[in-house]
Amino acid sequence: MVYSARAAVATSHPLASVTAIDMLRRGGNAVDAAIAAIAVQCVVEPHQTGIGGDCFALYMPKGATAPIGLSGAGRAPAAANPAWFAAHGITELALDSPHSVTVPGAVAGWCRLLADHGRLSLGDVLEPAIRCARDGYVVQPVVGLDWSMEAPILAGHKMAASVFLPEGRPIPAGAVHRQPLLAATLDILAREGHDGFYAGPVAADMVECLRAHGGLHSLQDFAEARADYVSAISTRYKGYDILELPPSGQGLAALMMLNVLDGMDLSDPAVSEADRIHILAELAKLAYHHRDHLFGDPDFAATPVRELLSPDWAQFARGRIDMSRAAAPIVWPEVTQRDTVYACVIDEDGNAISFINSLFHSFGSRIMAPRTGVLFHNRGAQFSLVAGHPNAIAGGKRPLHTLIPGMVMKDGACIAPFGVMGGPYQAAGHAELLSNILDLGMDVQQALDAPRSFAYRGVLNVERQPDAGLIENLRARGHDARWSPTMIGGGQIIWRDPDTGVLAAASDPRKDGCALGL
């Protein structure tokens, strides 16, 4: 854990953390620092994020009583709808299909947030990322490990493989990697702003690439790209206000879990580790079941936010938890209806930002535009092809998103910007992280370090712990429990002491990053 009396940053990559500190030293604020850090991560963690992805943020200016929510979620092409896919015999949106690619929204989000709330120019903020892409960067250990593990998925994608598998092999940790095409595109973006990406030669290259792969995208779809300001949703947990972005993100699921946990005492010594994991698993199954059935783009479907954050839903959920056995999730009868980077910054003036950017799965769709080096995300794979579903694909619609920046407030002041990576795990991860801090009394670094568990799609994965009988205990309750074959997620957090103003910053040991302070 890093303490600071002035400013602090935390990201999943050391170059991104240093970049954020440098932006603050150059007179930038939290917005400048976060976007500069994320832009660097789009180069140095290419499997996790990129300018062909989406972004979301919660920004709390000093003196404000509520954060500014930003949705940089891309929209489906205007021509996309379930009837078209049915007519063409397409029954699923494959992860490497052009139909999994919505118009990238990250750049629109960066440009809008920076223009409205930053201090530095886009050129200043993007300069470190351009330098990394042009001159090269050293691949860090966790990035190198992920790269080697994901190399097989790139092999059949000629353009992406030429960049990320030169000579047919992944770039190992300790080696230098360059992306000159991406550097040139970032340079255009730095000079021309929003329109340098969504119009002109860059947009033309992206559209031509996607259409060549069978996509429905048009230049008009890109020209109409925009980021939107949205109002945060919140709940009260152990005396703190926890804020998330509304659907089409899954932050509502995190708040639903916290609402239930707020009526329970996980700090009770009588609650064993197996009990705690069982409770979190049952809540995750229930909250995610509601997510999959009810969440969608609010411009197209009305997610029952108020009902799902009500005491009645929390009471229903608590009543579904049987401590002796696992239960199948159901949708509350009263309602009728993976790969990411994160950065948080609190600057010297007290401005705080929680920022997240992603390609979704590792290396996204693996489709790369040939002249611009833009690697596209595959967030559209989250769409449903079932007509009438709240998350059914439609022209101009945003898919269900797993990306959720979080923020803790108390008495109208920001206490902590925080985020947890790991695709679907993020909502459960928010609940688990905050429970570690506010129920179990861990400091922020301990809370990130602690072993994790996640119940999803019928499997309960648990990170290894000294308790050899833990898995057997959970299996006896009916869980398909197993030791997780990989680390679960990642995360960063900065916690401000409301009395002293001292900042405690932490970065997840499952990633290469670090926390730094001024």
Task: Kindly give the confidence (pLDDT) of every residue in the chain, 518 residues in length, as a single tens digit, with 9 standing for 90 and above.
Answer: 999 999 999 999 999 999 999 999 999 999 999 999 999 999 999 999 999 999 999 999 999 999 999 999 999 999 999 899 999 999 999 999 999 999 999 999 999 999 999 999 999 999 999 999 999 999 999 999 999 999 999 988 999 999 999 989 999 999 999 999 999 999 999 999 999 999 999 999 999 999 999 999 999 999 999 999 999 999 999 999 999 999 999 999 999 999 999 999 999 999 999 999 999 999 999 999 999 999 999 999 889 999 999 999 999 999 999 999 999 998 888 775 456 789 999 999 999 999 999 999 999 999 999 999 999 999 999 999 998 899 999 999 999 999 999 999 999 999 999 999 988 999 999 999 999 999 999 999 999 999 999 999 999 999 999 888 999 999 999 999 999 999 999 999 999 999 999 999 999 999 999 999 99
Residues in the chain: 518
Q: Provide the CA 130 distance to its chain's centre, in angstroms.
A: 23
Q: Please report which helix (H) or strand (E) contains residue 385, including its range.
A: none
Q: Which residues have a Cβ under 8 Å from the Cβ of 466 and sit 6 or more positions away?
A: none
Angstrom distance (rounded) from CA 318 to CA 332 = 12
Given a contact cutoff of 8 angstroms between Cβ atoms, the answer to whether 493 and 505 are in contact is yes
Distance CA 303, CA 297 (A): 8
Instruction: Give the helix, strand, coil percentages of the chain, each rounded to 5.
Output: 40, 20, 40
Q: Which residues of 364-400 are buried (b: 16+ CB within 10 A; e: fewer)?
A: bbbbbbebbbbbbbbbbbbbbbeeebbbbbbebbbbb
Instruction: Please give the sequence-ordered ranges of beta strands (E in DSSP) within 52-193, or none if there are none.
Output: 54-60, 68-72, 137-138, 176-177
Sequence letter at residue 161: A
What is the rounded distance in angstroms from the CA atom of residue 328 to the CA atom of residue 116?
A: 46
Triad 424, 110, 129: Cα angle to 5°: 95
Cβ-based burial of 60 (10 A; exposed 0-12, middle 13-18, buried ≥19): buried
Reduce the DSSP state of residue 346 to 3 states and report it: strand
Report d(CA 284, CA 290) in Å as an integer.
10
For 86-201, where are the E strands, in sequence order?
137-138, 176-177
Q: How far apart are CA 413 and CA 501, in angstroms?
A: 11
3-state secondary structure of 145: helix
- E strands, 457-498, where? 459-462, 481-483, 490-496
Cβ proximity of 127 and 134 under 8 Å: no
Alpha helices in 352-469, H assignment, sequence order: 425-438, 444-449
